[in-house]
Amino acid sequence: MLEGVSTTLAISIFSLFLGLGVGLPLSFVRAYAKGYGFFVEMFEKVFRGIPEIVLMLIFYWGVGLYFPFPFKSAFFTVIFVLGLRSAANQSQIFRGAIRGIGEEQMVAARSLGFSKLRSAVHIMIPQVFIFATPGLGSEYALLIKDSSYAFIIGVLDIMFTTNVIRKATSDAVTPYLVAAFLYILLTFPIATWLDTWGSRRKKKLGF
């Protein structure tokens, strides 16, 4: 069971960071490089519109035939799919934050001689994170929950081990209750902590 917890946690955290690495640049592309907005929008539509279980099966069984790396590994396939789905979500979360911060901070940065890119790095991104904390918290919780699909393609996460225990003990209730409790334990404290930290920070900085 403990191994299942660490796998679930690993999937969620790696996908969160993959989503961050892809989603954050995309949000800036969509906010500032309007010409490429269409492609970002298409990406968001595709990954938000298709159920993640369908995507996982497509990549694991379909694409995996032609690209054994990384899709031969169920673990990496899950991270890839959830990461990109999260990127689509995070791109929208961050875009909202950029809008909330407003154009002024960018103009002020540029008046000091910062390029657009460096303004984004030094002035926008630190504020974007503070603005986006509630959204990021629920995104993390969503990833923990959605990682439970992974057992379908054979990843040894919480759900997988739960099923093994259920079959071994013929108890159909207790293992699921334990799993439910574990999911709550993984999602709730971190999401709440992020939210509180964000609101405190916002209050202090007058956002």
Binding stretches for other proteins (CB under 8 A): 104-105, 107-115, 118, 122-123, 126-127, 130, 204-207
Q: How far apart are the first and last CA of the chain?
A: 43
Based on CB atoms, which residue is closest to other proteins, 4 or 135? Answer: 135
Q: How far is the CB of 207 from other proteins (least distance, A)?
A: 7
Written as one letter, the residue type at 184 is I
Which residue, chain included where needed, has tokens 């996908």?
15
Q: Quick check: 130 and 198 in contact, CB under 8 A?
A: yes
Based on CB atoms, which residue is closest to other proteins, 49 or 206? Answer: 206
Based on CB atoms, which residue is closest to other proteins, 89 or 127? Answer: 127
What does 92-116 look like in DSSP terms, one character per residue?
A: HHHHHHHHHH-HHHHHHHHHTT--H
Q: How far is the CB of 12 from other proteins (least distance, A)?
A: 27
Q: Quick check: 14 and 83 in contact, CB under 8 A?
A: yes
Based on CB atoms, which residue is closest to other proteins, 115 or 169? Answer: 115
Cβ-based neighbour number of residue 101 at 10 Å:
17
Based on CB atoms, which residue is closest to other proteins, 38 or 207? Answer: 207
DSSP class of residue 27 equals H
Q: How far is the CB of 137 from other proteins (least distance, A)?
A: 19
Q: How far is the CB of 100 from other proteins (least distance, A)?
A: 12
Q: How far is the CB of 113 from other proteins (least distance, A)?
A: 3
